[in-house]
Structure 1
Amino acid sequence: MNLSAVAIALLASAGIWPAPAHASGCGLGAPGTTSRVAIQGTGRTMLIHVPREFRGKAPLVFLLHGSTGKGSDILADSKLADTADRHGFLLAAPDGGIAAGQGFVWNIPGVPTVTGKVPGPSDPDDVAYLRAAIDDLATRGCADRARVYATGLSGGGRMTSWLGCVAADRFAAIAPVVGLRAGNPSSRDPNFPDSASCVPSRPMPVIAFAGGKDTTNPVEGGGAPYWHYPMRVAEARWADLNGCRKRLAESADPRGYTDCRARADVLAHIDPQAGHSWVADNEAVWAFFARHRR
């Protein structure tokens, strides 16, 4: 049934039809639009896209930009707002807390950014910022705390992985794109993650995407100090953390691990011809997210 805006407003005033979010005090602007929203208690803002059929208390997906990028960049590049409109989830695209060039980088403690600098205690705490955003949007009645997810590109993919490690109490699933990690590279042997740096409080479902021709974050490892260990090592570490019992064939698409605790599968799609770009299948990302809640 297709109703006009006038008809919906009349039904809403009579208590027959749910009022659109901007009319109900959610404060995110009209459905189908993207607005910059202040996050209470942080002094920071983020871009939030409200889906066309938004009625409040929707799933919330954080979309994290790559290093030296901005939220507006990844919104344009990923086309994920179109997916949000089709499936009815809120899409939040924040900026990282550390200024770098014309954009920002994310604060992953103990790991150098692309500038070579290791974030220090005076740098903004991006995990605290995203936690505050969840609290703010849930308190407003906009977001469902049980259905909060994260995805991101490159440095944003590494930040997404970090959220899985340290904020599993807030996120129901993660989808790193050309950026899957499972903790910081070990100082003793950077070909493996430091197990002490990633100890999630609960099993974390993971779906990851990568390009076989990526020379920035190579699937086979190497590269910059923040990268180093191979992607398959990250997959295996998440499988261990999630108590997975079945390994899929290396040649499978996706490859990875299933039969995990709390249905927290670890899946990886590798496009052999792709490079360092948004290689995610947005419909597959949302289908995976939709199967999980915290």
Structure 2
Amino acid sequence: MHEEEALSQFSNPEFNPNGIAIYPNSKNGYWLSNPSADTSRPNDLDFTNDLLTLMEEKLCIDTRRVYAAGKSNGGGFTGVIACNATVGSRFAAFAAVSGAWYNTDDIPGVGPCAPAKREEGYPFLEFHGTIDTTAPIDGNTKEHPKLPVIDILEGWAERNGCGANAKWTKNETVFQQLLVNHASWDCAGQAGIVQHYREGENGHCWPSTVGNDDYERLASQCPLGKYVFNATEYIFDFFGHYQLKD
């Protein structure tokens, strides 16, 4: 997954000086959050669980500080991981860039979101461009409809103790020139446990101040050629606030 490594820069010590980054491939090209995914067992959740067990056996890692992140279909799969009581409970926090949010309730092996109960909650961070036509921020009604991002955020706010249809605690413009808005939810005494960056004039691209392959391949969606912040920097800062209880 050299493309994902180059895109995310998760192996770059400038962003990630202390962690190990792993770039798995989905089964037959679609992660299990996509209705076109191969749902036969072992599925992507089984694979993720087995992969994490293997990494714990082979590498010296802090099992309290394991995180999941992805883009597009991979971003949607981070939500599937978090919703799974067995696999999601092994991860401390989750992040998605331009997540493709399908309704997974009827996908075999996934079903309705049912995370394990835990004191730490499920910290969730999402980035989305306002001109994304691949995974529109407000969803769509095509053959495989995608859900509005706000539904995903409010869902995680509710699961983290904010109650149904919880509105953000804070919503502010952080980059005036492109109208980038940062919204966050404080739930059950945990400040900013759910967060979102709404990116004006950005499409289905991983925000980067130096540009990346997304901006070259998807020039029509990402006309600026680069962006005003590095999503990777924000992701690692977010992850750094969370770890599982012993």
Q: TM-score, normalised by structure 2?
A: 0.73
**1:184-204: CA deviation from partner (whole Å, max 9, x where unpaired):** 2668xxxxxxxx611111321
Distance (Å, rounded) in 2 between the aligned partners of 1:226 and 1:205: 27
Distance (Å, rounded) in 2 between the aligned partners of 1:186 and 1:250: 30
| Cα pair distance change 1:225/1:238, threshold 3 Å | farther
**1:151-177: CA deviation from partner (whole Å, max 9, x where unpaired):** 101011011111111122111000011
Q: CA deviation at 1:140?
A: 2.4
Q: CA deviation at 1:247?
A: 2.1
1:288 aligned residue: 238
SS in 1 for 2:151: helix
**1:237-257: CA deviation from partner (whole Å, max 9, x where unpaired):** 110011137723455532131
Distance (Å, rounded) in 1 between the aligned partners of 2:171 and 2:9: 29
Unaligned runs of 5+ in 2: 174-180, 208-229
2:168 aligned residue: 247
Identity among equivalent pairs (%)? 25
Does the aligned pair in 1 maintain the 2:133–2:203 contact within 8 Å?
yes
1:173 aligned residue: 93
Does the aligned pair in 2 maintain the 1:244–1:265 contact within 8 Å?
no
CA RMSD of aligned residues (A): 2.5
Distance (Å, rounded) in 1 between the aligned partners of 2:40 and 2:136: 30
Distance (Å, rounded) in 2 between the aligned partners of 1:163 and 1:261: 24
| Cα pair distance change 1:83/1:215, threshold 3 Å | farther
Count of residue pairs brought into register by the alignment:
203
1:193 aligned residue: none
Unaligned runs of 5+ in 1: 1-70, 99-103, 188-195
Matched, 1:199 2:114: yes
Matched, 1:121 2:44: no
Of 224-233 and 243-252, the range deviating more from structure 2: 243-252
SS in 2 for 1:93: coil
Please point out which of 127, 137, 148 is paired with 1:230: 148
Distance (Å, rounded) in 1 between the aligned partners of 2:139 and 2:197: 16
| Cα pair distance change 1:143/1:162, threshold 3 Å | same
SS in 2 for 1:174: strand
Distance (Å, rounded) in 2 between the aligned partners of 1:208 and 1:267: 6
Return the structure number with greater strand share.
1
2:5 aligned residue: 75
SS in 2 for 1:89: coil
Structure having greater relative contact order (Cα 8 Å, sep ≥ 6): 2
SS in 2 for 1:237: helix
Please point out which of 204, 224, 239 is paired with 1:276: 204
Q: CA deviation at 1:273?
A: 1.0
Please point out which of 132, 151, 154 is paired with 1:214: 132
Displaced runs of 4+ in structure 1, greater than 6 A? Answer: none
1:90 aligned residue: 20
Distance (Å, rounded) in 2 between the aligned partners of 1:168 and 1:185: 15
Q: CA deviation at 1:263?
A: 5.8
1:47 aligned residue: none
Residue 241 of structure 1 aligns with an amino acid whose one-letter code is: R
Q: CA deviation at 1:105?
A: 1.7
| Cα pair distance change 1:264/1:163, threshold 3 Å | farther
